[in-house]
Amino acid sequence: MTDYNPDSVLIEHGIRPSRQRRAILKFIAEHPTHPTAEDVYQALYKKIKTLSRTTVYNTLRLFCSRGAAQMVTLEENEMRFDATTCPHGHFKCSCCGKIFDFFCDKTLAAASMQLPEGFSTNETQLYLRGVCKECNEQQSAVADCA
């Protein structure tokens, strides 16, 4: 995502760019780890003195409502944000807790085709849990993953 331009993404989604909006969108785009609003706040408040938790939260909600980002709720009470808005699946490692993206648009499209007649979808999420490559490799040395 080296050529990710937050301004053009904002404008494209009808959002007026501001310093805070630009910084928040850039942060979630550059951190595809699906940060929470708190993660974003913690990362940016030192650089942007006027930033508040409420601003971060409201800005992220605005991005989601305009389609510039999407909200990912993998666990109850845990809202995460994702600048990758094309359909994709998520994998959470139960060992290190990291969340990875994987691309499976054909599977997602196929899943919505399986719906009974008359149903329509506005959100498709695929969520898998397991152990990531790195943890699997370490596990041969330390076997203490739940």
Residues that bind Zn ion (CB under 5 A): 82, 84, 93, 95-96, 101, 132, 135
Decide whether 55 or 82 has the Cβ nearer to Zn ion: 82
Residues 85 and 67 sit within 8 Å (Cβ to Cβ): yes
Report the residue number, 62 or 131, with the smaller CB distance to Zn ion: 131
Nearer Cβ to Zn ion (23/132): 132
Closest approach, Cβ 116 to Zn ion, in A, equals 28
Residues recorded for the chain: 146
CB of 44 to Zn ion, least distance (A): 20
Summary count for the chain: helices (H), strands (E) = 6, 5
For residues 59 and 20, what is the distance between their CA atoms, to the nearest angstrom? 8
CA distances from 26 to 1, 4, 5, 18, 83 (A): 10, 8, 8, 12, 9
* CB nearer Zn ion, residue 23 or residue 95: 95
Candidates 37, 45, 119; CA nearest to 73 is 37
Q: How far is the CB of 117 from Zn ion (least distance, A)?
A: 30
- Output 51 or 72, the one with its CB closest to Zn ion: 72
Least Å from the CB of residue 81 to Zn ion: 9
Taking the complex as a whole, how short is the minimal distance between the CB of residue 52 and Zn ion, in angstroms?
A: 26
Burial tier of 89 (Cβ tally within 10 Å: 0-12, 13-18, 19+): middle
